[in-house]
Structures are given as structure tokens and as C-alpha cells.
Amino acid sequence: MCRKNGLETKRRCGWLQSSIPDSGLPVWARKHVTLNTCPKSYISAESEALVEEFLVWRRLGGAQLAALSARQVDAFMILDRALAEVNRAQQSA
């Protein structure tokens, strides 16, 4: 979407060359975290795979954490908290 609308330079996407000057202004913020580059450009294939595995894990009932790797458990717990936060925000709106 950024490329289609020509926003990759304005949002300082991480995959662009480092020749783009950093204006110091944040392009993304959430709670106490701000970034000067777009976070979407840092999503790796492994991250995407973990999200898909998380969705399957939840659909199957979210059990058997002991059968998962430590990396999967960590990712799943982070995604579970983020999903709960999104659900709370939607219920408040």
C-alpha cells in the first residue's frame, strides 16, 4: 500500500537505502514506544509463519504449550496479549 501510494519515503520504510535523511519525527507510535521507521518493513518470513502457526494453535484450542519450541511459546504469548488488547479496544468502541 505504501509503494502504491508513494509513501515509502515519507514513512521511511526500513527496506529503503540509508540515504534517506531521518527527520527525527516518529512515523509509528503505540503506548510508550515510537519508531522513526515503519515497523511493517521489518516483518520477516519467520514472523509471518509464527503468526500463521499462532492462528492454527488458537483454532485448535491453544493447548499443549509443552510441545512447542520456546520461540513459538514466546511469540504466541505476545500475539495472544496483542489480540486481547485489540478485542478490548473493539469492545470499548
Q: What is the 3-state secondary structure (H, E, C) of 8-59?
A: CCCCCECCCCCCCCCCCCCCEEECCEEECCEHHHHCCHHHHHHHHHHHHHHH
Q: Please tell me whether residues 56 and 17 are part of one structural domain.
A: no
Residues 65 and 76 in one domain: yes
d(CA 90, CA 93): 5
Q: Say what the pTM is.
A: 0.56
Verify that 51 and 29 share a domain, yes or no.
no
The percentage of the chain sitting over the pLDDT mark of 90, rounded to a whole number, equals: 26
* 50 and 74 co-located in one domain: yes
Mean pLDDT of 46-56: 92
Helices 70-92 and 45-59, interaxial angle, to 10°? 70
Q: Which helix (H) or strand (E) holds 81?
A: helix 70-92
Shared-domain flag, residues 29 and 61: no
User: Are 50 and 86 in a shared domain?
Assistant: yes
Domains: count for the chain? 2
Domain containing 82 equals: 44-92
User: What pLDDT is attached to residue 26?
Assistant: 74
Give the span between the Cα atoms of 75 and 4, in whole angstroms.
Answer: 30
Whether residue 55 has pLDDT greater than 80: yes
Confidence band, pLDDT 50/70/90 cuts, at residue 18 = low
Q: Which residue has the higher pLDDT, 41 or 71?
A: 71
Average pLDDT score, the chain: 79
Which tops the pLDDT comparison, 21 or 4?
4
